Each structure stands twice: as C-alpha cells, then as structure tokens.
Chain A
Amino acid sequence: MAVELTRPALAAEASALPARALLVTLLRPPVILYVPAALFLAAFFLVPLGLVVWMSVSDPEFGFGNYATFFASRYDLAVLARTFQTAFVVTLASLVFAYPIAYVAARRGGAVGGFLLGVVALSFWTSFLVRTYAWMVILGAKGPVVGLLTALGVSPPPRLLFTTFAATFAMAHMLVPFMVLALYAVMKRIDESYMRAAASLGARPLRAFLTVYFPQSLPGVVNGATLVFITCLGFYVTPTLIGSPQDKMIAGRIGQEIEQLLDFGAASATSMILLAAALALFTLYDRFFGLDRMWR
C-alpha cells in the first residue's frame, strides 16, 4: 500500500531529473529482479562465449583464417557432415523407440502408463556418463551381447564397441527420454474422443491412427526431433568413449583440437560453427514448424 502511494510522487519528482528517473526505473522491483540472472548469464555465458568468438578470430593471428582452414579441410567437413548424419539417424531411431512408449503411456494411462513413464524417468535421471559406461559393459568384448552371439555360433563375433553403430545406438537410447517426454506432452492433450469419433465414422484402428491420431501428434514429433537433433549435434561423452576413433563427431574434434593439437583458435572456430549450425536449425524450426500454432 505504501509503495502504491509513493510511486506517483517519485514519478513526478523523477520527470524533472532525467538521470534520477533512470535510477528510479532501474531500482523498481520488477527490473531489480532481473539483475541477478542477467549478471549470472553475463559472467558465465556471454563473457566466455565472447572470449571464444574472440579467440576464433585472433589466435594465432587476427582474421578468419581458422574458419577458412575448417572449410578448406576435407577432414573437418567430413566430421561436420558425419555429425549431421549421425544426429539424423539418432533422431530417427529415438523417434522409432519413443513413439510407441509415449503412445501407450498417453492412451493407456493408469498403472501401465505410470510404469512406462517411471522407466523413462529413471533413465532420464541417470547421467549420460553412467549410461555410456553401461553400454561399454554391454557391448564389450566380454559383454553379454558378444557372449550371446558366440553362443549362437557367430564366429568370430563382430566387434561392437568403438564403432559408429555403438555410438549411434547408445545416443539414441540416451535421448529416448527427451523424445518420449516431448511426445507425451502433446499426446496427453489428444482427447480420447477423437479416436472414438474416427471409429464411429467408420475408420478401422490403423486407419484412425494414421489419419486422426498421428497428424495430431506431429507437433510432439517436431518438438522432440528438434530437441534430440540439437542435443545430438553437441554430444561429446558417448561418441568419444564408445564410438569409432576414426569417425569423430564435431564435439570430439573440438576436444582433439584442444587436448592433442593445442590449437585453441581452431577449436574456437569449430565451436562457433557448431553453435551456428544449432542456431540455424532453431531458426528453421521456428519458421517452418510452428505446427503447434497451426491449429490451436
């Protein structure tokens, strides 16, 4: 109440003194509330990002040399292409795994749905590193998969660990929870009466799913795919630990440039290219896949 009363008085006073007016505006509660977050972001996000940008154009000498080197290098371009290709495959695979889970959880609800979501959440809460090591055990030379294949008479058993297949499979597994949650959020809003309406109008279950349910779940597919694709672009731990050393992804390449080549300029430029690629995707997503807004 007291604040309400003094505010007009302050405002009247402030209009006479522009400098003080600014101060008054800045010290008013809503603005003041942004300050900690703004300072935090500036100190720990904008400044480091700025440093990376600076390093990419100044180390070892000023100019766009690092970028030119990247785009002139067949190896680097191959890494970039492979990164996109892997992200695409991972997105597709996690969609294939996640869609049925989300579908059953959203439509069944109850104990079955709760159990499925619980399993997904459990996986979601377990760190990437732990799950990567789990895959190392499962796919390792003495792991259960190789053991099973040997028992089935596959000889010699294929090498699974340290392959692009292993990395792709593991990443898809790790990103499935993101996809499930994105899909579930949208599917939960699709009322059961749509499928009933479709049935009453003569649509068999598969037809009803394809013509009525799936199109309505597309916003979830696009949301989930974007989330998974962009996360996958920057994936470091899994491809580095269980992927093929020859088939690096871009985050692994950045690590190599820093740790082995000590070329901070090149690493910074590569980082910026990765960031630009992710931003470009986000922009595309926003432009073309505003599916959410199309019929709501």
Chain B
Amino acid sequence: MKNARALSLRGLSKSYLAGQNAVDSIDLEIQPGEFVSFLGPSGSGKTTTLMMIAGFSKPSSGEIAIGGRKIDSVEPYDRNIGMVFQNYALFPHMSVADNVGFPLRMRQVPKAQAAKRIADALAMVGLADFSGRKPAELSGGQQQRVALARALVFEPDVVLLDEPLGALDKALREQMQIELKRIHRELGVTMVYVTHDQGEAMAMSDRIAVFNRGRIEQIGSPAEVYARPQTRFVASFIGDSNLIEGVIGRGGSVDLPGFGSIAVGRGDLTPGTPVDVLLRPETIRLSKEERSPEDICFTVDEIVNYGDSFLVIGKSAGQELRARVPGLDMPALARGERCVMRWSKERVHIVPR
C-alpha cells in the first residue's frame, strides 16, 4: 500500500490518579507495514495506549507521530487511522455498503469512485454479495469482516484493532486470523493489534510488545519472545512454562539445586546472581529407561490427554514441573509412577530476576 506509515510512541504516559500511571513512559517504533501486537493481561495498559494512538484518550505526557508527523494535537477525525472495535461498532441503521462507504462520504469521495472502492473492500473480505444487508442480518464473523473493510477502505495510515476476534468462537477465530494475515500481506498497511490471547499474537505478529503494569516488558518477534523472554512475567505469560530458581555459578554455568549445574555460556553474568531458568514443557522428555547418572527423577502427579499430546504434571527435586509430550512419544505412565526426565541443554534459557 502506498501509504503505509511508521508509528512512533515516545515516552508516552497516561495517569488517571497522581502517581499512578496506567501507561508508563512507553517507547515504541513501528515500521511502515509492520504488524505489531500489544499483548498483555487486562489492565496492563495496552488498550489505553491504543486509545491514545486513536485520539480518544489524551496522553499525560510523551508524543505520538505517524510517518514522522506529530499527531498529539490532531483530532481523532483528522488522524486518518482505521479502527476495528471489539464489538465491531457497525452502524445498525445503515446497510453494509453504507457502513463501508461511511468514511468515503466523510471524505467527499465522488459517488462512482466510492462505489468501486466499497465493492473492492467487500470483495477483499469475501462479502461482495452482502452489500445490501443490515448488520443485524449478518453473523458475528461477517460483521467482523465488514468492520475490517470499513476500517481499510479509506486507505488509512495505520489500522488499530482492539481485540477484534474476542467475541468469535475458536474455529472462526483461527480462520479470521489467517484471513487478517492475508489482508495485511496484500495491503501492506501498518497494523497494531491489541489482544490478551498469546496464541493470537504469536500467530499473526511481526513483533509482539508484551505489556505489564503500564510498561512494555519486551518487544520482539514471536520466536524471540517465546524462546528468549527477558523477564519472568514474559516467560510465564507467553506459552506454558517451568521456571526453576537458580544461581549463576563459575564459568558461565547455572546451579540449579537438585538438578545440578548446567553450562549455559552466560559468562556475562556475575557468579552468585540469582536467576530463573526457563524450561518449556515441550522441551522435557520423559522416559522409563535410565541411561546415565545425570538422569533426573520425575514423579508423575497428573496426566491430561489432549489427543495430539499429553500434559504430564509431576515433581522433580521438590519442584512442580509440567511436561508436554507428543501423543506418539508418550511412554506408558501412570499416576504416582517415577520416571526419568531429560532436557536438551541448549534449550535452557536464563531469565534475569
């Protein structure tokens, strides 16, 4: 898209009460055409940040710029930002075509040209035949598509999406994720996507900004955020995780009480520094055969069958651990049974405390 723009937030803060920041000094540079997710629990400041970008909420300090132009004092209706709302906010008294055409009417686009752009936008979301319907006559997924078409039809500089798939059921949500990705690829428009669903953020984003208590704890590609979380919060919020407390030892190794010492090549950390070690459940292997003296004993407490995989919850060295075992690799285990757990050392990630 010709008008994909960069979005930058510099020192953006919002406080409702003195001394309490809902959003606390956020710095973020979003590249033109990038798909960035704001991921975090409710109350983490992600929606407040989105509302400030849209212009519905006034920042207490900091600045917002689109394509290098400061927009802090620009009214929402002049920002040229497309927005998809959680409840879609389709105008119930207007037909689908009139809803999609609304931003074009506001911009005095000539009728014939507007008709073509409405038709194109509806075709893009697969609703070419629905232009005459009222929103109430559409399913939730279809309403979502209309809202998307309406937010895209006027070629906005940036598109903001506020938990747009929250109200849809799981199957439809996955389908819409793929579709949204396709549309993003085709148009190349800059998109900011707010969600509390980490799977959704992982599936769609170029980068994920993980929000917690009004701050961005980490920003990075989905793979990066998943494999190398920089804080305990990110490690536990994204994906299933085992966090084991340890201490940095000599020569870049980490000492885990009960599990021994593992070489992790972190010579940059001072020996004696307390850290957390992240062990993703799918990196743990369970086996009934003892092979080496290094093997660690694992006592099974609970087994949950998900069909394609098993979640095995158990204890090792007095610590509760969760292991995710693919269905085909699952050894014949029963509750209360003891087995052996292994993990690949290169998968171990150190999270500073």
Contacts and interface: CB of A to CB of B under 8 A. Distances in A.
A194 B55 CA distance: 15
Given A191-B87, A193-B87, A200 B82 contact: yes
A122 interface: no
Interface stretch (A67-75, A201-209, A254-262): A201-209
B134 A295 contact: yes
B189 to A, nearest CB: 15
B106 A200 contact: no
B85 A196 contact: yes
A163 to B, nearest CB: 41
A203 B91 CA distance: 13
A212 B89 CA distance: 11
Interface residues of A, number: 22
B170 interface: no
A28 interface: no
Interface residues of B, number: 29
Interface string A174-207: 0000000000000000010110111111111101
Contact of B89 (A194, A207, A295): A194
Interface string B64-82: 0000000000011111111
B211 interface: no
Contact of B154 (A194, A199, A201): A201
Given A193-B85, A197-B85, A201-B102, A295 B56 contact: no
A296 interface: yes
A187 to B, nearest CB: 14
Contacts of A212: 91
Contact of B77 (A193, A202, A215, A216): A202
A194 B106 contact: no
Nearest to B98: A211
Given A216-B93, A296-B136, A198 B102 contact: yes
15 contacts: A191-B87, A193-B86, A194-B91, A196-B54, A197-B85, A198-B91, A200-B54, A200-B79, A200-B81, A200-B82, A201-B103, A207-B106, A211-B102, A216-B92, A294-B93
